[in-house]
Structure 1
């Protein structure tokens, strides 16, 4: 089991501080939750239905017509290796190989559930006679590696590094790969800059609201809309891949109330614009605050800001001792800060930072 942010109760117990006396900045989830009104009683009573308006709302918001709602993008992350490898095994030239070797490129630093999903797949598919090889890249994949890859995963923007890549750059990488190779793009934090999405690129530049067979995209409702507890995400791919994904997931992947709230959030354009403006303002404030307290400038992407530190673990613990929960990055060389929600939380963070010193 990997370590994630949001484990506030665990830290409250560890540091012997009451749960309600913490400022939780350990996730990249917006502190501003989409307002949930009354959910009609029949939605709680009936089984979820596909014809409830969620698909249409998502198609309009993401500008892509081929999608599958899933229980958070995490559900799709765990499913991606199976979808990609099963497709790989159907390619005509693969059946001729004695021991097919599948090469996948993964970011060395990034949301670690991707690496875990592919490592788990390696064990399963080895029994089917397929060997997986991993290429871990820093920042951008090297051209010499791209030509050997059967799949490339890009987290755009990267969490926690905040590296961003243009759609043109992603498609250029795809063209450098093997003809049948697959490009996988995790856009969980793309909502602040929707025009930079590869989905938007296909709609605006190619006039297409569908993706080719060799591109798959993940999106998450939880981050920008502040609805992580709703567990709603989307997988975008060609119809054949989506049908296979649907068969693996089974019926009723999302609850009726989750679908109802998600459809409302995705069609509430005034709230979306208001939230973007608010997050821009709050993000600028966090950027300035961290730049004041640390010599290393923070890297940020609106919802979270990451500071590289030689003593990252010490800073993380020192803040936790004062009731500020941050995310110690997996490499233990950086601390990631989410956004406070209230002015009181901002003041608590600033006071805590004033009490610690960077070594």
Structure 2
């Protein structure tokens, strides 16, 4: 299976030229205005992460996401680390993953020997909520012995979260820190849900899975509700601004979230090439010749995108 992703500026420079610093990367759904990094204590780098720091992060996560009593929380070095290990720590033969969606889930289950289907009853089910790349929400999560609800982009709409389902046996709700907080390089993610499943995942990750820096920054960021509220408003405003620019250039809105927008074009590859000639990287998909996905530009990036589109 093709495991295509956003990013890949090095490949873009090889194809279209320019230096890495010249490029505006709109191929991901990462907040372009990240949470401001605080000064980090030296022990973040020099000492093994201690239990107190891990406990503080888990408590901050429990408060931020209003995690119900009875559901556990596991911090990990990115949601992708959890996605790769979940199929290896569960029993079953068939998983249902409705598509098109984020391709790492199917790739990870296939690598672990599972059969992947888009519909029907299975030993496991996965939904991405809101979905990537079209942004659709799932009103009700599936009911399977193992149910994975990937909420990597759901912090833009906390009222739509299915975290209340995390007390059900076999349920895991995944959260990504890198998207909404814009700190993808910190490598921090969370699984919320069935404590027995989380214990197996913790064993698979091993000790000290999350760095001292990620524990420190994550605890502060998850406790900063005002920043989160302000960011949701800004992302919504910027998404509307991006839509206006791209629609005026001839595309149609096909979906998305406030962190990324999906457009329908006559020829997505042509649009991607046109933008790339201005050192702006968009995202196309192997299963659609018309879909173009763009992340939000930085404040100075909007003018640059407008010039490229005209």
Q: Same fold (TM over 0.5)?
A: yes
What are the ranges of 5 or more consecutive residues in structure 1 without an aligned counterpart? Answer: 89-101, 123-131, 203-209, 355-359
Aligned twin of 1:274: 230
Task: Quote how far apart the aligned CAs of 1:332 are.
Answer: 4.1
Task: Quote how far apart the aligned CAs of 1:310 are.
Answer: 3.9
Q: For 1:316 and 1:50, locate their aligned partners in 2 and report how far apart those are by CA, in whole Å.
A: 47
| TM-score, normalised with respect to structure 2 | 0.93
**Aligned residues, how many?**
303
Aligned twin of 2:8: 7
Q: What's the Cα RMSD here?
A: 1.6
Q: For 1:196 and 1:227, locate their aligned partners in 2 and report how far apart those are by CA, in whole Å.
A: 23
Q: Secondary structure at the match of 1:107?
A: coil
Summarize deviations over 1:241-263 as a string: whole Å, max 9, x none: 11111111100111101110011
Q: Secondary structure at the match of 2:156?
A: coil
Q: For 1:39 and 1:20, locate their aligned partners in 2 and report how far apart those are by CA, in whole Å.
A: 26
Aligned twin of 2:156: 192
Q: Which of 127, 130, 138 pairs up with 1:157?
A: 130
Q: Is the 8 A contact 2:44 2:212 kept in 1?
A: yes
Q: Secondary structure at the match of 2:253?
A: coil
Task: Quote how far apart the aligned CAs of 1:329 are.
Answer: 2.0
Tell me, yes or no, if structure 1 residue 72 matches structure 2 residue 82.
no
Write the mapping of 1:259-338 to structure 2, written as runs, cut at 5 A.
259-333=215-289, 334-338=291-295
Summarize deviations over 1:64-118 as a string: whole Å, max 9, x none: 2511101110001001112222xx4xxxxxxxxxxxxx32111221111111101
Q: Is the 8 A contact 2:251 2:263 kept in 1?
A: no
Q: Is the 8 A contact 1:290 1:298 kept in 2?
A: no
Task: Quote how far apart the aligned CAs of 1:47 are.
Answer: 0.3
| TM-score, normalised with respect to structure 1 | 0.81
Q: For 1:257 and 1:244, locate their aligned partners in 2 and report how far apart those are by CA, in whole Å.
A: 25
Q: Is the 8 A contact 1:287 1:300 kept in 2?
A: no
Aligned twin of 2:34: 33
Q: Is the 8 A contact 2:282 2:294 kept in 1?
A: yes
Q: Is the 8 A contact 2:148 2:171 kept in 1?
A: yes
Tell me, yes or no, if structure 1 residue 106 matches structure 2 residue 97.
yes
Tell me, yes or no, if structure 1 residue 134 matches structure 2 residue 116.
yes
